[in-house]
Amino acid sequence: MNTKIRTRFAPSPTGFVHIGSLRTALFSFLFARHNNGAHILRVEDTDQSRKVEGALENLLRVMKTVGVEFDEGFYLIDDGGVGLPTDLSPEVLTKGEASAKVGERGEFAPYLQSKRLALYQKHAKELVEKGHAYYCFCSKERLDELHKEQIALKKPSMYDRLCRNLSDDEVKDKLAEFSLANKNPVIRQAIPLEGETVIHDLIYGEITYEHKILDDQVILKSDGFPTYHLAVVVDDHYMKITHVIRGEEWIPSTPKHLLLYKFFGWEPTEFAHLPLILNPDKSKLSKRQGDVAIEDFLKHGYLPEALINFVAFLGWNPKNEKEIFSMDELIADFDLAKVNKAGAVFDDNKLDWFNSQYIKKMSPDELAEKLKPFWQQANIDAKNYSNAYLAAIAELEQERLKKLSEIGERTGYFFKTTDYGPDLLVWKKSDKAKTKAVLSDLFGLLDKFNETDFKKESLETKIKKFIVEKKYDNGSALWPLRVALTGLTSSPGPFEVASVLALGLGKKEVLERIKAALAKLD
């Protein structure tokens, strides 16, 4: 085994990046960085029927956005057209499987399994020669019938090893027959009929599997493509992978993989299987259950740093009270010994909390910049307004925001007036006539103010003094003022809103909105 830690993230190019995939990639990356090792990206595209065009580029964009890095494998070439990095030969640029914007780097290229078929075929045949695998000539119809019978008898669905018992002459005849028909048989792994295999898992400890319950799985399909089981073992060996970090759903496959290592005479990788990610009701989080694609979370206004912090806690626990971690802090603290065996609950409220904490840490200017595309989505052209105005609006909502996508709904009144009925202006302990009188007096007061009087502190002091002098109660005065400015039942207070409106649109805008409210009361 190499002394240098080498981990890999090996997704299939079948669509969007989901929460489970991001967690696997993140934990693999954190473990490698914590141990000064290398993190490799390999693409497992042996199931060509499920391949989605553009999935690799999409994955690379997402990983770049959230800060998960790869030292070898695929990467996005600079969109600016600077061409290939100096350490990359043009010959390893992928063609057909990915666009010209994707390149490969690393001494173990190609990192795309469909370009490594000859290697898998060679090793599958080697296993046949050693008696650790065999040709299977069974038709799909026979296998379907066998499956139905086993279900009817409530038996495990496993291959009955019919072809494993063929004589050498029968195999030779069948191969000739298939060759004439221009067909290929599959190759199945020959699981030992007795004994057991023990997994030494870095998270779950020792797990023992009796060989009699393991299926003689297909390792090479009739189209010449390997199944996951053969390809993953061959690639991890040749790419010198030391640690495989993957979801616990792969635990039942691990004894088969360990047997393949044994058959080849190779030292196996170490395995760490991550607990399932669960819904709050403890059911398994499905890719079809709600929006679990990382792109969706980003589009909804979750910050990459918050998303990474949240995902890190899906199964990992630092064993202290700290919850907010930068990527560097996660790298420093990450330890597989701190990964729980129990399923990790995906809690939307917790994700919202993490996101709100990161939003609060931003400067108003930085937050306003992040909010611009979300204002645009709400049909608010932010570029028509000053950065100072946008930053003031951002600061006003900063403590309340859970995700950036809420900003359009929360702040639309700062950019255009809201339509509302006159009854909304009337405080519950007041009436229309009193409301009109209060707003008229407030209009007269504010009309005398100069621009410097529209600072929040000054507004609050002078308006509250005015309320006392006029013997009004706060609700009867401040409720209609806030509604006049925002058109909403729920919003920041009138002093904050008036000061920000005056900053961006001037004192005149504040007075115009009060005048419009008075017209509604008429």
Residues involved in catalysis: 287
Angle, nearest 10°, between helix axes 456-469 and 474-486? 140
The string of DSSP letters for 384-402 reads GS-HHHHHHHHHHHTTT-S
First to last CA, the chain: 85
Euclidean distance between CA atoms 339 and 379, whole angstroms: 44
For tokens 């030494």, the residue is 200
Distances (CA, A) of 332 to 32, 208, 311, 341, 438: 11, 33, 16, 22, 60
Report the half-sphere exposure of 192 (CA within 13 A, side-chain side): 15
CA distance 194 to 237: 26
DSSP character string of 215-240: ---EEE-TTSPBPHHHHHHHHHHHTT
Contact 10, 113 (CB under 8 A): no
Angle at 244 between CA 241 and CA 249, to 5 degrees: 150
Please say whether the beta carbons of 294 and 357 come within 8 A: no
Q: Radius of gyration over alpha carbons of the chain, in Å?
A: 32
DSSP states along 130-180: HTSEEEE---HHHHHHHHHHHHHTT-------TGGG--HHHHHHHHHHHHH
Whether a cis peptide bond, with omega within 30° of 0, leads into 110 is yes
- Angle at CA 60, nearest 5°, toward 59 and 65? 100
8 Å CB contact between 197 and 259: yes
Closest C-alpha to 185, from 126, 132, 124: 124
Collapse the DSSP code of 285 into the 3-class scheme (helix H, G, I; strand E, B; otherwise coil) and give the result. coil
